[in-house]
């Protein structure tokens, strides 16, 4: 195409306007747009607000599905709030736009992890690819991290604050994020006291898909 243009003169204006969109793409996979896709590692992206109801048309499949992804997008182009959940779920957005949704360096690993295990926590490469390429991410105050347990990435449940953790009761005591004993005693900890679901600091809550244990991390602006 470029060579043709060099040899035979300037592009017509309408070609100029369409630009990169003329690059052929694989056909959009057949999908049931009436049912939101299921994401193993991000089971309720509506609750976490990584996916919102929207009248936006998806830049990838061209459909107005009623939903749009609002989390982080890593791509050449600025693609915020332009991709539908279906294009994430089957990898079509990754394939067509070379987009990813979570930084793979943030998955597992980190010996400073709350309740974490060893380096990268044994998360298999296939799981890392599923999260990076085919799972909605989430926006944190700092670089996002994805908690792992039992040799697998955990399911992201969303942001929680002190009130939500207290509501979890005994289950939250097992999060063991540097605090031990009864949940009511955590009240004396300044970080725990300040945790706010919609503010800073906040806690990113995950659940292990194997043993059910809760975990995650806190960060602030």
Cβ 17 to Zn ion shortest distance, Å: 22
Give dist(CA 106, CA 77) in Å, integer.
22
- The neighbour count for residue 181, using CB atoms within 10 Å, is 8
Should residue 99 be labelled a site residue for Zn ion when binding is judged by CB under 5 A? no
Binding to Zn ion in span 38-67, by CB under 5 A: 58, 60-61
Binding segment for Zn ion (CB under 5 A), chosen from 1-9, 71-79, 81-89, 107-115, is: 81-89
Binding segment for Zn ion (CB under 5 A), chosen from 78-86, 102-110, 161-169, 187-195, is: 78-86
Should residue 89 be labelled a site residue for Zn ion when binding is judged by CB under 5 A? no
Should residue 155 be labelled a site residue for Zn ion when binding is judged by CB under 5 A? no
Binding to Zn ion in span 113-142, by CB under 5 A: none
Should residue 208 be labelled a site residue for Zn ion when binding is judged by CB under 5 A? yes
Q: Nearest CA to 113 among 219, 188, 16?
A: 219
Q: Binding residues for Zn ion, per CB under 5 A?
A: 58, 60-61, 84, 87, 149-150, 208, 210-211, 213
């Amino acid at each position: 195409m470029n060579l043709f243009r060099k040899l035979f003169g300037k592009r017509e204006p309408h070609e100029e306007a369409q630009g990169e969109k003329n690059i052929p793409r694989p056909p959009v996979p057949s999908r049931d747009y009436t049912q939101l896709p299921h994401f193993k590692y991000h089971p309720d992206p509506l609750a976490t607000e990584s996916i919102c109801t929207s009248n936006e048309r998806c830049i990838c499949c061209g459909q107005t599905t009623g939903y749009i992804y609002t989390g982080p997008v890593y791509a050449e182009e600025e693609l915020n709030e332009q991709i539908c959940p279906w294009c994430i779920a089957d990898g079509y957005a990754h394939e067509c736009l070379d987009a990813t949704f979570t930084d793979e360096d943030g998955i597992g690993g980190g010996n400073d992890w709350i309740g974490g295990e060893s380096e990268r926590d044994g998360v298999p490469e296939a799981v890392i690819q599923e999260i990076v390429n085919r799972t909605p991410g989430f926006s944190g105050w700092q670089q996002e991290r994805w908690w792992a347990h039992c040799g697998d990435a955990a399911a992201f449940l969303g942001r929680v604050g002190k009130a939500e953790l207290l509501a979890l009761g005994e289950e939250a005591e097992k999060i063991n994020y540097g605090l031990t004993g009864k949940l009511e005693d955590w009240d004396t900890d300044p970080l725990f006291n300040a945790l706010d679901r919609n503010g800073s600091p906040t806690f990113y809550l995950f659940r292990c898909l194997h043993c059910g244990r809760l975990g995650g991390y806190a960060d602030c602006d």
